[in-house]
Amino acid sequence: MCADQHQKNAELIDQTNTIGIEFLRTDIEAALTFIQVAETSSSPENRVRNYGNALEGYRTVLHFLPRVLPSPDELADMQAKLEQIKTKLQQAGFPAGD
């Protein structure tokens, strides 16, 4: 394989990783939003649905996180937010075990 092809492959891998990280960050923020909506909802059905959506997002991030290579700062930020999501879900009675 020529050097040009190696460079293109490396760029593609980097782009794929960047997109994957952004996908996970978006899912984390969505889960946090679902939790916020659930915490402020007066409807039991809306609370359950929104906590359920947050749990689904949380599990999705846990599933895909090992497949990307975030920077140490990105990883620390994601892990802190995941811990926050996990705690809030558990406090609400949703099983968020890893």
**Nearest alpha carbon to residue 25 among 76, 55, 59, 61:** 61
Q: Count the Cβ atoms, other than its own, within 10 Å of residue 61.
A: 21
Per-residue pLDDT of the chain (98 residues; tens, 9 = 90+): 688 888 888 899 999 999 999 999 999 999 999 999 999 999 999 999 999 999 999 999 999 999 999 999 999 999 999 999 999 999 999 988 75
Contact between residue 50 and residue 85 where contact means Cβ atoms under 8 Å apart? no
Tokens of 94: 């949703």
